[in-house]
């Protein structure tokens, strides 16, 4: 069966396009209109994918052939670059991102693949002589089949972020892709499958939901899961995988604080604050959702953000004027609005109410206007819970110590942003922030050569950087005792024992 752009979006398993009995509809979140059909994977689909990946791991030379793995990663990088605009256009249509944001997401893919191609040869073991004629060798081997679970908010970038190190390590993979981006999934699969260097069964892609993820988590043939998603689901799958002592790499929720001190460059800080809230319509693990402002500039920050967020141009990705697109669907619009209403009942003050668009040409889409709330307590649910929508809270502080305390009053610890023109203040504060990434006078700068991951309930393990292969490898200690070259050397050694 051939996969074409006009056909139902299918799974890619063992080098073949695979259909399912059950189909779903892909919807444009900006209009609510159908844009295609897709096959919905189930446990049988997942089982077939795991079988293919296990065979490829055990019966091909993939796990041993470093040169081939590096070539494949470079080849995939070239192919994603060649299809970058096509991917960005489809991502905007199906995911709702405005085109500049879709292009930004796609731009992250090729550099990450190429960096991991370099890690293929950098990743080595070590050796030492610990006695006369006695040696130890430590090597790092691929763990086996890796299950990768990808969320719908950034399906291209977050797939490649886990796929690149898994392939570099020598694992074979089964990827669970989200139904909300099925047409994008199919295009990704076409790009990957076009590589003539990739052995059959090394990469398998299944579009599905809970059944597929549950099978991967519970299967003894999938020793490691790389999961990006909510903290609630991360906890659940970790508990389910405990019976197999499953290894998990988890990148989970976030509540990124943006800390603005009195001496900050407000023009730069507020421009980034706006983007930190509205990029991907706030559907981003690093969304800047908590604004902490020192009292001396609080009034100016409040006034300028009210003016800016009140006039932000929300619209379809297809419109050049749009500064923020829709949420992924109307169910999420209602979910976010319930959270905002509860916050208002609990004492939050609406500086910009925003909310669902229920009238006019945008009413058929899943649009939610930016919302800006001032709160006086970190205990409110709107401060503590990940919203995954364009909702920003404001709290005022006086001292560095208070700023740190407010920033750390969260179960999450994925990222933080600090703004000050002082040389030393941001470094002092950053040293006490419980977060895996801290930006100074910036937000969402990501580098492939530096690790990314969370503290506390924002996850475990690291992606990007040198540490990203750790989830996908085992250490093996090999002891060699060939003996000494002469009996005399052995006698001398014994005299000293």
Rounded distance between C-alpha atoms, residue 243 and residue 488, angstroms? 54
Q: Provide the pLDDT for residue 48.
A: 98
Q: Provide the pLDDT for residue 2.
A: 54
Nearest one of 442, 450, 452 to 258, comparing CA atoms? 442
What's this model's pTM, rounded to 2 decimal places? 0.95
Q: Provide the pLDDT for residue 123.
A: 86
Beta bridge partners of 415: 437
* Structure tokens, 107: 């731009």
The torsion of the CA quartet 29, 81, 185, 54, rounded to 10 degrees, works out to -160
- Annotated catalytic residue, options 251, 274, 385, 452: 251
Give the tens place of pLDDT for each residue, 237-292: 999 999 999 999 999 999 999 999 999 999 999 999 999 999 999 999 999 999 99
* Structure tokens, 346: 């609990």
Is-catalytic flag, 285? Answer: yes
Parts of the chain with a pLDDT under 50: 1, 5
Phi, psi of 261 (to 5 degrees): -90, 165
Q: Where are the alpha helices (DSSP H) in 288-378?
A: 295-311, 330-345
Q: Do 413 and 454 touch, CB atoms closer than 8 A? A: yes
Burial (0-12, 13-18, 19+ Cβ within 10 Å), 477: exposed
Q: Provide the pLDDT for residue 476.
A: 96
Q: Do 2 and 18 touch, CB atoms closer than 8 A? A: no
Q: Do 237 and 212 touch, CB atoms closer than 8 A? A: no
Rounded distance between C-alpha atoms, residue 55 and residue 13, angstroms? 12
- Annotated catalytic residue, options 8, 171, 285, 425: 285
Q: Provide the pLDDT for residue 487.
A: 60
Reduce the secondary structure of 79-145 to three states and give it as a string.
HHHHCHHHHHHHHHHHHCCCHHHHHHHHHCHHHHHHHHHHHHHHCCCEEEEEECCEEEEEEEEECCE
Is-catalytic flag, 386? Answer: no
* Structure tokens, 439: 């930006």
Rounded distance between C-alpha atoms, residue 99 and residue 92, angstroms? 6
**Coil, strand or helix at 364:** coil
Rounded distance between C-alpha atoms, residue 446 and residue 153, angstroms? 17
Using alpha carbons, list the distances in angstroms from residue 115 to 83, 209, 442.
Answer: 19, 30, 23
Q: Provide the pLDDT for residue 61.
A: 97
**Count helices and strands in the chain by DSSP H and E runs:** 16, 24
Using alpha carbons, list the distances in angstroms from residue 370 to 357, 389, 394.
Answer: 11, 8, 14
Q: Provide the pLDDT for residue 5.
A: 47
Block residue for tokens 């791991």: 57
Rounded distance between C-alpha atoms, residue 107 and residue 85, angstroms? 10
């Amino acid at each position: 069966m051939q996969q074409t752009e006009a056909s139902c979006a299918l799974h890619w398993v063992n080098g073949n396009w695979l259909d399912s009995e059950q189909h779903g509809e892909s919807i444009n979140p900006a209009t609510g209109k159908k844009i295609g059909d897709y096959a919905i994977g189930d446990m049988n689909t997942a089982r077939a994918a795991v079988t293919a990946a296990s065979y490829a791991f055990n019966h091909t030379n993939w796990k041993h052939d470093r040169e081939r793995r590096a070539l494949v990663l470079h080849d995939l990088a070239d192919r994603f670059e060649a299809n970058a605009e096509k991917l960005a256009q489809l991502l905007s249509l199906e995911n709702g991102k405005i085109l500049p944001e879709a292009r930004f997401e796609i731009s992250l893919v090729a550099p990450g693949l190429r960096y991991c191609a370099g890690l293929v040869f950098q990743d080595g073991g070590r050796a030492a002589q610990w006695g006369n004629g006695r040696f130890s060798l430590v090597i790092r081997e691929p763990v086996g089949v890796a299950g990768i679970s990808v969320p719908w908010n950034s399906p291209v970038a977050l797939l490649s972020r886990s796929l690149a190190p898994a392939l570099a390590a020598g694992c074979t993979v089964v990827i669970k892709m989200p139904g909300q981006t099925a047409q994008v999934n199919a295009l990704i699969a076409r790009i990957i499958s076009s590589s003539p260097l990739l052995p059959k069964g090394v990469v398998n892609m299944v579009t599905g939901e809970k059944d597929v993820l549950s099978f991967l988590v519970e299967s003894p043939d999938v020793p490691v899961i790389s999961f990006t998603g909510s903290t609630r689901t991360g906890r659940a799958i970790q508990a389910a995988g405990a019976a197999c002592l499953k290894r998990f790499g988890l990148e989970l929720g976030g509540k990124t604080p943006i800390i603005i001190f009195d001496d900050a460059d407000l023009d730069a800080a507020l421009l980034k604050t706006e983007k930190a809230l509205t990029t991907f319509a706030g559907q981003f693990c690093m969304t800047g959702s908590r604004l902490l402002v020192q009292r001396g500039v609080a009034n100016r920050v409040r006034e300028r953000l009210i003016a800016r967020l009140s006039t932000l141009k929300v619209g379809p990705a297809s419109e050049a004027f749009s500064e923020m697109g829709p949420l992924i669907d109307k169910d999420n619009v209602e979910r976010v609005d319930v959270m905002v209403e509860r916050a208002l009942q609990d004492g939050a003050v609406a500086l910009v109410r925003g909310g669902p668009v229920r009238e006019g040409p945008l009413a058929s889409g899943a649009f939610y206007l930016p919302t800006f709330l001032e709160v006086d307590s970190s205990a409110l649910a709107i401060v503590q819970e990940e919203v995954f929508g364009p909702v920003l809270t404001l709290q005022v502080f006086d001292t560095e110590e208070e700023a740190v305390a407010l920033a750390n009053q969260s179960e999450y610890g994925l990222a933080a942003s600090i703004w000050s023109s002082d040389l030393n203040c941001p470094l002092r504060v950053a040293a006490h922030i419980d977060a895996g990434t801290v930006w100074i006078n910036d937000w969402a700068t990501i580098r492939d050569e530096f690790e990314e991951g969370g503290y506390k309930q924002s996850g475990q393990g690291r992606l990007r950087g040198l540490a990203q292969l750790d989830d996908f490898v085992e250490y093996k200690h090999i002891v060699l005792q060939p003996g000494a070259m002469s009996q005399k050397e052995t006698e001398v050694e014994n005299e000293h024992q």
